[in-house]
A and B are shown apart, each in its own frame.
Chain A
Amino acid sequence: MTPSSFEWIQIPYALLTLFIVVNFGMLLTALMQKIGARVGRRHGIPIWQNYADLIKNYALRTSITHGVMFYLGPVFRLSGGVGLLLFVPTIYGSVMFANFSFAGDLILALYFVFFGTLGMALGAGESGHPYSAIGITRGLSQVTAAELPFALAVFAIALQYQTLSITEIVAAQQGGVSNWTLFTNPLAVTAAMLGFLGSMMRPPFDVVLAPQEIPIGPPTEYHSSYLALMQTNRAIFPIAKIVVYMNLFFGGAASWPVFFFKVFCIYMVSVFVGVVFPRFRVEQSIRWFLVWAVPIGVAAILLV
Chain B
Amino acid sequence: MVNALILIALGLGAAFLIGLLPSRWRGLAYAITLAALAAMAAIAGGWVWYFAMEGGQALEIHTAGTPPPFAVALHLGMAEAVLTLLVTVTSLLSAIYLKDTLHRLGRRAMAVLLILTMSLAGIILTRDLFNLYVFIELMVIATAGLVLLSASRFALGAGFKYLIISQLVSILMLIGLIFAYHATGTLNIDGMADAALITRQGGMLAFFLLFIAMLAELKPFPANGWALDLYESAHPAFSAILSSAIAGAAALYAVDKLLLIGGTEWLPVATAVGLTSFVAANLLALPQDKDRRLLGYSSIGQVGLILVVIGQQDILGDDYLFIAGGILLSHAVAKAGLFWLSGFIPEQGLSAWSVLRQRPLLLFGFVTFIAMLTGLPPFPGFYAKWELMGALADADRIGVMILLLFAALVEAAYLFRWFGYVIKREPNEGIAQPRPPLRKCLVVHSATAIGWGLAWVWGELSVHANLLHALPLLFALGFLLIEGLPAWLKNSVAIAGLLAWFWLSYPGYDPMQLIFGAVILVGGALILLASYHAHGKRIGFYPSAMLMYAGLAMLIVAETSFQFFAAWELLTIGSYFLILRGKHSEPHALSYLVFSLGGAFLILAGFSLAAQGADIFLVSALSELSEPLAPWIFALLAIGFMTKTAAIGLHIWLPGAHAEAETDVSPMVSGILLKAGVFGLITLALTMGKQQLFGIELTHVMLWIGALSALIGNLLAAFQEDAKRLLAYSSIGQMGYALFGIAMMNHLGLLMALMFVINHYIYKSMLFLSVGGIAKRTGTRDMYRMGGLITLMPLSFIAVLIGIIAVSGVPPLSGFGGRWITYNAIIDIETRLPLVILFLAGPIAFLYLFRLIHTIFLGQLKDEHRKLKEAPFWILLPQMIFVVCLMIFALVPGLALRHVDNYINQFYPGGGLDWAGLTITSQYGYWAPIPIMVVVGAIFATLFLWLVFVNRKAQKVKQFNIVFAAERPHRPETTHFAWNFFAPYRKALGFLTEPYVTRFWETISEALHSGADLTRRIYTGNGQTYAIHLLAFVVAVYLLGVGL
Contacts and interface: CB of A to CB of B under 8 A. Distances in A.
Binding between chains A and B: yes
Select the residue from B811, B819, B847, B950 with max chain A CB neighbours within 10 A.
B811
A143 B985 contact: no
Given A128-B859, A281-B984, A302-B832, A2 B935 contact: no
A40 interface: no
A133 B926 CA distance: 36
Interface stretch (A41-49, A118-126, A176-184, A267-275): A118-126
Interface stretch (A90-98, A223-231, A243-251, A252-260): A223-231
A140 B858 contact: no
Contact of B947 (A3, A74, A104): A74
A65 to B, nearest CB: 4
A195 to B, nearest CB: 11
A65 B987 contact: no
Given A82-B943, A107-B820, A141-B988, A1 B926 contact: yes
B790 A68 contact: yes
A282 B989 CA distance: 11
B935 A118 contact: no
Given A67-B790, A128-B975, A144 B844 contact: yes
Contact of A64 (B839, B924, B950, B954): B954
A6 interface: yes
B957 A64 contact: yes
Interface string B898-933: 000000000000000000011101101111100110
Interface stretch (A22-30, A31-39, A157-165): A157-165
B839 A133 contact: no
B810 A75 contact: no
A151 B842 contact: yes
B985 A71 contact: no
B823 A164 contact: yes
Nearest to A105: B925
A217 interface: no
Contacts of B918: 5
Contacts of B1039: none
Given A111-B809, A122-B801, A144-B840, A134 B977 contact: yes
Interface stretch (B101-109, B262-270, B290-298, B960-968): B960-968
Nearest to B841: A144
Contacts of B857: 126
A3 B919 contact: yes
Contacts of B939: 79, 82-83, 86
Contacts of A152: 836, 839
B951 interface: yes
B975 A130 contact: yes
A127 to B, nearest CB: 6
A108 B791 contact: no
B850 A164 contact: no
Given A2-B926, A114-B810, A130-B977, A108 B935 contact: no
Contact of B791 (A67, A75, A76, A112): A67
Given A134-B977, A151-B842, A301-B832, A162 B827 contact: yes
Contacts of A125: 850, 853-854, 858-859
Contact of A107 (B853, B927, B931, B960): B927
Contact of B955 (A65, A143, A215): A65
B858 to A, nearest CB: 3
A56 interface: no
Nearest to A59: B950
Interface in A124-152: 125-130, 133-134, 136-138, 140-141, 143-145, 147-148, 151-152
B130 interface: no
Interface string A277-304: 0000111001100000010011001100
Contact of A114 (B808, B844, B926, B959): B808
A205 B836 CA distance: 22
Contact of B926 (A61, A66, A104): A104
Contacts of B953: 61, 63
A71 B964 CA distance: 20
B17 interface: no
B975 A298 contact: no
A63 B955 contact: yes
A127 B960 CA distance: 9
Interface in A175-202: none
B395 interface: no
Nearest to B975: A130
A122 B801 CA distance: 9
A13 interface: no
Nearest to B984: A282
A172 interface: no
A237 interface: no
B846 interface: yes
Contact of A63 (B850, B936, B951, B988): B951
A86 B942 CA distance: 15
A115 interface: yes
A221 B962 CA distance: 7
B833 interface: yes
B835 A301 contact: yes
Contacts of A144: 840, 843-844, 846-847, 985
Contacts of B836: 148, 152, 294, 297-298, 301
Contacts of B816: 107-108, 111
B805 interface: yes
B927 A133 contact: no
A112 B808 CA distance: 11
Contacts of B793: none
A283 B984 contact: yes
B963 A129 contact: yes
Given A104-B927, A115-B811, A225 B950 contact: yes
Interface in B966-1025: 975-978, 981-985, 987-989
A6 B959 CA distance: 46
Contact of A6 (B804, B931, B944, B976): B931
Nearest to A297: B836
B892 interface: no
A78 interface: yes
B788 A128 contact: yes
Contacts of A69: 790, 858
Given A64-B957, A133-B977, A282 B985 contact: yes
A286 B951 contact: no
A121 B420 CA distance: 44
Nearest to B804: A118
Contacts of B858: 69, 122, 125-126, 128
A287 B926 contact: no
Nearest to A161: B924
A103 interface: yes
Given A5-B919, A79-B943, A225-B947, A283 B927 contact: no
A78 B943 contact: yes
Given A125-B854, A144-B846, A226 B947 contact: yes
Nearest to A14: B935
A141 B947 contact: no
B10 to A, nearest CB: 81
A106 interface: yes
B976 A130 contact: yes
A276 to B, nearest CB: 23
A155 B839 contact: yes
A217 to B, nearest CB: 12
A155 B860 CA distance: 41
A64 B961 contact: yes
A65 B962 CA distance: 11
Given A108-B816, A281-B984, 6 more contacts: A67-B791, A67-B956, A122-B854, A155-B827, A155-B839, A229-B943
Which 3 residue pairs are nearest across A and B when measured between Cβ atoms? Answer: A164-B925, A125-B858, A105-B925
26 contacts: A3-B926, A67-B791, A69-B858, A75-B944, A83-B935, A87-B935, A107-B819, A107-B927, A108-B816, A114-B846, A118-B808, A121-B850, A126-B858, A129-B962, A137-B984, A140-B846, A140-B847, A141-B847, A143-B843, A148-B843, A164-B827, A165-B925, A229-B947, A282-B985, A286-B989, A294-B836
